[in-house]
A and B are shown apart, each in its own frame.
Chain A
Amino acid sequence: MLVAIETTAIYTLLLGSLYLLVSLGFSLICGVLRIFHLGYAYIFIAAIYFTWMFMDLFGWGLVPSIAAMLVIQAGIAIAIYKGLIVRYMKQEEIIITGLLLVAIILEQAAMRFYPIQTGVYLETTVMAGISKIGQVTVSNQLIFAAILGIVVTGLFALFFLKTKLGLAVRAISYDLYASRVMGIRVEQLYMFIMVLVLIPVILAMLAIAPVWAVDPGVGWGYMMTAILVSVLGGLGNIKGTIIASYIIGLCHSTVAFVIAEPRFMGLSALIVVLIMLIFRPQGIAKSETVW
């Protein structure tokens, strides 16, 4: 029993930090840009499969492939922004449907060209091997991913709190019209944010790839977690997202290790979020602000 609790505690920290990477972008887009980015799942798939495509098709090494993938992802994000979001800002159903379609197109393309049997594997291990913390055995790569999560979140927080650009983004999230009047270049900032939020997700996927299996359907599971964390923490609020990530991490770990029914992880998180919403419909965050 003690081991179970210890495992739960450690995995809460690990999973929570990982979920930070996964959810931060989603929360920011929904909260700051006020766009329902329901195609978020495509970022996960694109991160893995475009990298693999460059390695497989052109025989490039890992690092050039990752660089190329970043370029393509940025391109897709800007294309989505210009082609879909800007034109249909007022008609949210069209944006949501379009984004979902993009995610499905990419997922189906990945399934068509690189089905599970092809054995896509990215050698992105940074910290190899395993460690033993107390009684618990953990993969080092997972610890690395968790540290990455905390660092990236810290950088984001610093960015939004201390830099001028971050201040401008916060301004847009409060009052769009007034921001425009103040001279803030809203369109360019939106594009910047769309590209910026790619980074945590890509880092997460690249870090996790050697540890957990990747298949084209992996995006939806992570997106579900991102949705739950964001809804629980309050959309767009970084503090809320941090707290919510660890709550969901705790929920998943408890169900997996103490209750020992890993199958119930997703469901349990949903129930926790639903109960929370009954008492506090706007999430944990006290206000609809970035911090």
Chain B
Amino acid sequence: MDLEVKRDRLVFRAMGGKWEWGIEPRYWRNPLIYISLLILAPVVVYFVYPALLATVIDANLLAAIAIPLSLMTLGTGRMNFGPQFYIGIGGYTAALLSIHFGLSPGMTLIAAALAGLVFGFAMSPLSIISGGLYYTLLTLLFPLVFLEITFIYTDLFKGDTGLAGISSLVSVGFFSLNQLVYAFISLAMMLIYLFIIDKILRSRYAVQMAAINDDEEVANGIGVNVNKTKIISFVIPAMMISIIGWFYAHYYGTFAGVTFLPLAFMLKILMVIMIGGRIQIYGCIVGGYFIAFLELLLIRTTGAMSPVLFPIILLILLLTLREGLFGLYRKRHYREYLPTLHVRR
């Protein structure tokens, strides 16, 4: 193992392979500006209007779900319509272990990640054997069936009301300060996911994924291990999304399948990706904040009509913004280093 620091790149060698990370300070200006804004936002909100911190956390988490989902879509070549299934897995694992065995959040994190890994592996053959439409339909069904199971085994999952009494991740005194800490943790998670997936999308693995998406048989013929790539790009995002489920459980202190498993939540995640410009991971952040604040705005202004108006507005946005909100920005300021691979069927 060997790490070499050159003028413009880091070279890492291990086990006969070689990986290079380019260091290009001229491209750091924009990301640094936006990350600073993202870090400042919770602080400003804390002093101005602390109740909004919940929305900020929501936004960060939505983005943090959409980013691995983008990787899963690129790697397997199809859109998974049931990502919330893994939220359920991570959340219920964390909740059950915390309540029944009193495990600390650190331990439940490991457990939730493992659960995501195991279930991801179990489901991953679907990405290999099922063709486009069947894959879509089956991934759509899994969370709904999970929801049914939570209703069947009510003593374990507590059906509608969900599990309560999960230990909190953070308690530093009063509520607003807690929220601020949660906001930073959620922001950190999102940025870590963004970093990891950005690096993957600039690496050799992304080129292989692009080849698989374009023509799987040819890719197989030139030496790409198609099945391995699909399985890994299914399992790793599944694990990442389960960890978000863990966060939800410890953040709210309660966890109920009905909040996360039905189609309404999935649609929110989907809209984050669509508004964000479809598989552009930086767009997911824009999408996350947009959807979270839009929902808040609707609830505050229209009250009971908001569950009806929210999807209507989303539909209008979907039909009018072909490239998503982030796409509008990209058309003005095109930068070729932003990864955009296409999903094929």
Asked if A and B touch directly (CB within 8 angstroms), the answer is yes
Chain A residues near B297 (CB-CB < 8 A): none
Most chain B CB neighbours (cut-off 10 Å) among A30, A94, A101, A274: A101
A104 CB to nearest B CB, Å: 5
B274 pairs with A108, CB closer than 8 A: no
Give the residue name and chain of the B residue nearest to A113 (CB): B308
Q: Say yes or no for B137: interface residue by CB 8 A criterion.
A: yes
Within 8 A of A (CB), among B267-309: 267, 270-271, 274, 278, 304-305, 307-308
Q: Say yes or no for A132: interface residue by CB 8 A criterion.
A: no
Given known A-B contacts A98-B319, A100-B263, A278-B129, A266 and B145 have beta carbons under 8 A apart = yes
A34 and B133 CA atoms in complex are apart in Å by 9
The residue from A108, A266, A274 contacting B148, defined by CB atoms under 8 A apart: A266
B311 CB to nearest A CB, Å: 5
Interface string of A263-281 (1 = CB under 8 A from B): 1101100100010011001
Within 8 A of B (CB), among A100-142: 100-102, 104-105, 108-109, 111-112
Given known A-B contacts A277-B130, A281-B134, A112 and B304 have beta carbons under 8 A apart = yes
- Main secondary structure, interface of A, reads helix
Given known A-B contacts A92-B345, A108-B307, A98 and B315 have beta carbons under 8 A apart = yes
Given known A-B contacts A94-B274, A108-B311, A38 and B145 have beta carbons under 8 A apart = no
The residue from B137, B145, B151, B307 contacting A112, defined by CB atoms under 8 A apart: B307
Q: Say yes or no for A56: interface residue by CB 8 A criterion.
A: no
Given known A-B contacts A224-B141, A263-B151, A267-B148, A101 and B274 have beta carbons under 8 A apart = no
Interface string of A82-96 (1 = CB under 8 A from B): 011001000011101
A97 pairs with B152, CB closer than 8 A: no
Within 8 A of B (CB), among A241-291: 263-264, 266-267, 270, 274, 277-278, 281-282
Most chain A CB neighbours (cut-off 10 Å) among B131, B141, B144: B141
Chain A residues near B191 (CB-CB < 8 A): none
Give the residue name and chain of the B residue nearest to A35 (CB): B133
Query: How many residues of B are counted as interface, with CB atoms below 8 angstroms from the partner's CB atoms?
Result: 37
B311 pairs with A281, CB closer than 8 A: no
Chain B residues near A105 (CB-CB < 8 A): 308, 311-312, 315
Q: Say yes or no for A146: interface residue by CB 8 A criterion.
A: no
Chain A residues near B54 (CB-CB < 8 A): none
Q: Say yes or no for A227: interface residue by CB 8 A criterion.
A: yes
A175 CB to nearest B CB, Å: 17
Chain A residues near B129 (CB-CB < 8 A): 277-278, 281
A111 pairs with B133, CB closer than 8 A: no
B151 pairs with A93, CB closer than 8 A: no
Q: Say yes or no for A231: interface residue by CB 8 A criterion.
A: yes
Q: Say yes or no for A235: interface residue by CB 8 A criterion.
A: yes
A198 and B315 CA atoms in complex are apart in Å by 22
Chain B residues near A160 (CB-CB < 8 A): none
Q: Say yes or no for B235: interface residue by CB 8 A criterion.
A: no
Chain A residues near B145 (CB-CB < 8 A): 266-267, 270
A100 pairs with B307, CB closer than 8 A: no
Q: Say yes or no for B140: interface residue by CB 8 A criterion.
A: yes
Q: Say yes or no for A190: interface residue by CB 8 A criterion.
A: no
Interfacial residues, chain B to chain A (CB-CB below 8 A): 79, 81, 129-131, 133-134, 136-138, 140-141, 144-145, 148-149, 151-152, 263-264, 267, 270-271, 274, 278, 304-305, 307-308, 311-312, 314-315, 318-319, 343, 345
Q: 6 A-B pairs, CB-CB below 8 angstroms?
A: A93-B274, A97-B274, A101-B311, A102-B315, A267-B152, A277-B138
